[in-house]
C-alpha cells in the first residue's frame, strides 16, 4: 500500500513540476514582451521628439509656410507626384504629423493654419527620375 501511495505521490509531483515549467516559460515570455513594448515606446518617443524639433526649426526658418511645405521638406519622397500633391495619408484622422502640426498651430495662436482631416484620393503617378 505504501508503494502505491509513493508512486501516486511521485506522479503528482511530476505533474506539478510540468506545470511549474510551463508557468516559468509563460512568465519569461511575458517579461520579454514587456521589454519589446518598452523598446517600441522608447523608439516612438524618440521619433516624436525628432519630428517636434524639426517642426520647431522649420517654423523658425519659414514662419509663413503651411503644413504641405513642412511635409515637402520633411518627407520629399512623399511628394514626388505628377500633380504636386503630398501623400494622402498625411491628411487622415490619425496622422501623427497632422496632429503635431495642429497642436503647434494652437500653441502659436495660428488656428487658421490648422489642417482638418479629409479623404483625398491617392496619387499614383510619381515623377520619373532624371537619367
Write out pLDDT tens, residues 22-36: 999 999 999 999 999
Task: Give me the count of residues in the chain.
Answer: 131
Write out pLDDT tens, residues 79-111: 877 777 889 999 999 999 999 999 999 999 999
pLDDT, position 34 = 97
pTM over 0.85: no
Write out pLDDT tens, residues 55-79: 999 999 999 999 999 999 999 988 8
How far is the C-alpha of 97 from the C-alpha of 9, rounded, in Å?
63
pLDDT, position 127 = 60
Amino acid at each position: 500500500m505504501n508503494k502505491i501511495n509513493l508512486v501516486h505521490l511521485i506522479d503528482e509531483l511530476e505533474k506539478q513540476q510540468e506545470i511549474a515549467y510551463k508557468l516559468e516559460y509563460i512568465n519569461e515570455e511575458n517579461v520579454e514582451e514587456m521589454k519589446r513594448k518598452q523598446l517600441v515606446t522608447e523608439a516612438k518617443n524618440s521619433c516624436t521628439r525628432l519630428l517636434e524639433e524639426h517642426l520647431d526649426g522649420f517654423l523658425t526658418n519659414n514662419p509663413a509656410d503651411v503644413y504641405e511645405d513642412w511635409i515637402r521638406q520633411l518627407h520629399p519622397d512623399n511628394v514626388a507626384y505628377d500633380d504636386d500633391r503630398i501623400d494622402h495619408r498625411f491628411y487622415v484622422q490619425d496622422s501623427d504629423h497632422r496632429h503635431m502640426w495642429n497642436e503647434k498651430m494652437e500653441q502659436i495662436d495660428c488656428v487658421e493654419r490648422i489642417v482638418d482631416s479629409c479623404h483625398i484620393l491617392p496619387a499614383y503617378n510619381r515623377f520619373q527620375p532624371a537619367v
